[in-house]
Every structure is written in C-alpha cells, then in structure tokens.
Amino acid sequence: MLSKNELKYIQSLCQKKQRAQEGLFLAEGPKLAMELLRSDYRVEKLYATAEWLAENPVDVESIAVTEIELAKMSTLQTPNEVMVMCRQKKDLGEPVFKNNLSIVLDGLQDPGNLGTIIRIADWFGIKQIIASEDTVEFYNPKVIQSTMGSFIRVKCWYTHLPDILSSVEIPIYGALLKGQSVNQVGTLKEGLLVIGNESKGIRESVLALITNAVTIPRIGQAESLNAAVATGILLSHLCGK
C-alpha cells in the first residue's frame, strides 16, 4: 500500500533539485520499465497496478497502486500502468572523442528537444552527448519519456563547453544558417556536431571554436528549423550508411 509520505516523496522527484539531491529519477510506462529492468541501471522501486504486476513478475521491490494513485504520481496526462524509481548514473568516465562522432548541445532548453535528440543519437549509433551546464537536465521526466528508452544507451556529460572544445584535436562542426552545405561534407568518422539554443543559436564563446560551419540548404521560406529536426537531418548525411 502506498502511504501519503511515500506519495509526496515520489511527487518531489518531479523537481530537479530533489532528483539531484537524492540521485534518483522516475520513468513511466511498460516499455521503459522493462528496458530499465534489463539494463545496468539500478531500479530502486517499482509501482504498478495489480493487473500489471500479476502479468509481469519482477525481481525488485514492488508496490501495487490503484489507477488513482498512479495518476497522482504521474507526470503524464494519461498514466500508464507502471512507474519505476531508478538510481542516476554518476560515474560516466570520460568521453572518447577520437574516432567518434559526438553531439554538443549549447544551451538547449526544451526537454522534448533533448529527449528527441537522444533518441536520434541512438538511431545513428552515437553514444556521446556533451552539454553546456545550462542545458536542460538529462533526468528531467519529459526528457526520459521522449527518449523512448534511448537514454539507456547514450551518455550525457555537462560541462563548460569552451574548455572541452578548446582542448580537442578533432573537427568541430557547427549547425549554422550560413556554412558549407551538409550535402557536400560527406561521411564523418570523428568530430563534434554543435547544436545551439532553440532561439539564440550557438553563443559567441562556442562559435569562436567551431572549425567547420555546416548548414542544411533551405528551399522554402522558413526562418529556421527545430533543433531536434535539424540534428536528425544533419546526422542522416554525416553518419553515412
């Protein structure tokens, strides 16, 4: 049975400060729950309807909850049978830039965009994202849900970007409105692809360190592309076949 105190504790994990303090995060839905149970993430506790638990016996601490309780815990408009509380990964090691194509995010603010970019990275086999310290948090519930499980396979480091970019010895590609057409760049075996803030783009301190400006040729009249959409288009060219 779910106590009032435990319900309040779960609800508190919707806040970034509490997630950071506790080192935990939440994920919802059968697909995410099962992927996390099979992954190397540590699942601390699972909350699910009695029907789901009866059909899916699991080897972690589990609490049966009603649909009403699940709705109170959930960040989704339509709660989805099961929620897991998981331990965040703190020791990610160091990113390996040599012979890798990695994504760099400069001030991305929208959780849906970050989640979609993580999913796109996973699709193209990219395992590393380097984010500025003011980029939206990796364990934000909306980020986790929109990755559709891809966050399990993609690592994300938060750091002061100029320090990293000034120290690497590989090409740094910046997604800009003016630059070499992505159609002419060809397949990349290594490099960093920098995606800027949704409205302000790439800030000057990062822009100064870009070695190769790359752009998606515009045919129509739209002023710009969504950050995640642009990332997908660029990687579809840069990652080759």
For residue 187, the SS3 value is coil
Q: Does domain 101-238 have CATH number 3.40.1280.10?
A: yes
Q: What is the pLDDT of residue 241?
A: 57
Other CB atoms within 10 A of residue 126 CB: 22
Domain 4-87 fold:
60s Ribosomal Protein L30; Chain: A; (3.30.1330)
Q: What is the pLDDT of residue 52?
A: 96
DSSP 76: S
Other CB atoms within 10 A of residue 221 CB: 5
Residue 113's pLDDT band (boundaries 50, 70, 90)? very high
Q: What mean pLDDT is predicted for residues 17-41?
A: 97
Distance CA 51, CA 33 (A): 15
Q: Cite the residue boundaries of each domain of the chain with CATH code 3.40.1280.10.
A: 101-238
Q: What is the pLDDT of residue 77?
A: 79
pLDDT at 49 > cutoff 70: yes
Cβ atoms of 205 and 172 within 8 Å: the answer is no
Residue 79's pLDDT band (boundaries 50, 70, 90)? confident
Q: What mean pLDDT is predicted for residues 58-71?
A: 94
Q: In Å, what is the CA distance from 48 to each residue of 25, 75, 82, 154, 196?
A: 16, 15, 4, 27, 39
Cβ atoms of 43 and 86 within 8 Å: the answer is yes
Q: What is the pLDDT of residue 78?
A: 80
DSSP 226: -
Q: What is the pLDDT of residue 50?
A: 95
Q: Cite the residue boundaries of each domain of the chain with CATH code 3.30.1330.30.
A: 4-87
Q: In Å, what is the CA distance from 200 to each residue of 72, 107, 195?
A: 36, 9, 11
Cβ atoms of 133 and 119 within 8 Å: the answer is no
pLDDT at 226 > cutoff 90: yes
Distance CA 227, CA 233 (A): 10
Q: Hunting for tokens 């409205």 — which residue is that? A: 199
Residue 181's pLDDT band (boundaries 50, 70, 90)? very high
Q: In Å, what is the CA distance from 123 to each residue of 5, 18, 86, 151?
A: 40, 31, 24, 11
For residue 70, the Cα-to-chain-centroid distance in whole angstroms is 24
